[in-house]
Amino acid sequence: MQIISFTPVLMNLIEKIRKPIEKEIEQFEKSSTEELKTENPLLKNISNYLQLGKGKQLRPILVLLSAKLCGEVTESTIYGAISLELIHTASLIHDDVVDNTFQRRGLPSINAQWNNKVAILAGDHILSKSLSCGIKSQNTRILEAIANVGMNLTDGELLQLDKVQHAQLTEDDYFEIIHKKTALLFSSCALIGGLSVKADKDSLMHLFHFGEYAGICFQMKDDLFDYSENNKIGKPTRNDIKDGKITLPLIYALKNADESQKHEIEKWIENKDFSDFHIEEIVKFVRENGGLEYTFQKMEEYKNKAIEELNSFADNELKQSMIFFADFMSNRDF
Ligand code: FPP
Ligand code: MG
């Protein structure tokens, strides 16, 4: 039972992205299922439940594409991909507890389906499994990159907790947070793909930046979703605002609105005064002050920067898939 409905055009784009790595995705899925086998009945249930809403697997796809762009996919690539997908899964399970969210990928989140205690412990277990797969990659640079992802995810989340509930949050603060909480995971996927096939230093650098810029697009798109009326994304909209989380559309609108209009919104944010009426007023304020257009324009800029990082690679179907990948990150509607 896959709950999220995919629009045909975008589904087609995903199929195009996956095409040159179909065989490797199968290998990844087989090894992944093997790694998640457990005798613990609760973990088994959670693992089966996670399979129902397993998402688009963009991160392992990026690992596999980057590896194959530079060589032949190895066991080390597969374990790197499993490790990254698992650290991502663990972070989302914990994130829904931190954000007090009850829906993920069109299903009740783990904290909603079970409870917070189960979600924290299951997330811990999956995180440990991720590290174990990192070790199985038998490459200390890969393991180092995975540990670095874990540190940055938590660093970014703590920064967010500390800073984003204040109307004075700047665009620089926003970029620092999204680099840590989202972009580094994508840049590490591309880097680890390259490391797993011993790509040269120059290629590793370009892969890293490709993932970084594509990751920034992904987060901006996610932040735009919060302002949309789209019910296809499989998680509630307006959640960031309700939580007092200020993202680029609102940062821009606050910077550019006139003082009187801005003052009232800032007061609601500082007092965490988020009634349904105030939330819809904030959405209107962001729309009227160009916050959505600005974020969209920035996202396009980063997509183009990501694609430019591929200039030094030979033109082939792998590179074409990476270009589709960057396109998907900013055009997805789920
Ligand atoms: C989604 O962001 C969440 C993240 C990008 C990272 C969350 C990280 C943690 C909670 C730290 C835990 C880390 C480990 C290694 C277990 P979002 O809340 O903006 O997006 P959403 O709408 O998808 O929830
Ligand atoms: Mg969240």
Residue located nearest, by CA, to atom 8 of ligand 1: 91
Of all atoms in ligand 1, which is nearest to the CA of residue 101? 24
* Residue of 59, 86, 95 with the most ligand 1 atoms within 8 Å of its CB, for mutation: 95
Measured distance CA(70)–CA(299) in Å, rounded: 27
Measured distance CA(327)–CA(217) in Å, rounded: 9
The alpha carbon of 281 is separated from its chain's Cα centroid by a whole number of angstroms, namely 28
Summarize pLDDT for 257-311 with one digit per residue, the tens: 999 888 999 999 888 888 989 999 999 999 999 999 999 999 999 999 999 999 9
Q: For ligand 1, is residue 157 a contact (CB within 6 Å)?
A: yes
For tokens 């900013």, the residue is: 330
Of all atoms in ligand 1, which is nearest to the CA of residue 96? 24
Q: Is the Cβ–Cβ distance between 295 and 255 less than 8 Å?
A: no
Measured distance CA(102)–CA(97) in Å, rounded: 9
How far away, in angstroms, is 303 Cα from ligand 1 center?
Answer: 22
The alpha carbon of 196 is separated from its chain's Cα centroid by a whole number of angstroms, namely 22
More confident site: 236 or 141: 141
Count of all residues that appear for the chain in the document: 334
Pairing of the two strands 103-104 and 107-108? antiparallel
- With the CA atoms of 168, 247, 228 and 157 taken in that order, what torsion angle do they form, in degrees rounded to the nearest 10? -130
Q: For ligand 1, is residue 94 a contact (CB within 6 Å)?
A: yes
Give residue 167's identity as a one-letter amino acid code: A
Summarize pLDDT for 1-21 with one digit per residue, the tens: 334 445 566 668 999 999 999
DSSP string over 160-188 = HHHHTTSTT--HHHHHHHHIIIIIHHHHH
Q: Is the Cβ–Cβ distance between 64 and 17 less than 8 Å?
A: no
φ, ψ of residue 115 in degrees (nearest 5): -160, 180
Give 57's DSSP letter.
-
φ, ψ of residue 332 in degrees (nearest 5): -60, 150
Domains of the chain listed by start with CATH number:
8-331 (1.10.600.10)
Q: Is the Cβ–Cβ distance between 227 and 253 less than 8 Å?
A: no
Summarize pLDDT for 233-265 with one digit per residue, the tens: 666 678 888 888 899 999 999 999 999 888 999
pTM of the model: 0.93
Summarize pLDDT for 19-36 with one digit per residue, the tens: 999 999 999 999 999 999
Summarize pLDDT for 179-233 with one digit per residue, the tens: 999 999 999 999 999 999 999 999 999 999 999 999 999 999 999 999 988 656 6
Q: For ligand 1, is residue 146 a contact (CB within 6 Å)?
A: no
Q: Is the Cβ–Cβ distance between 129 and 84 less than 8 Å?
A: no
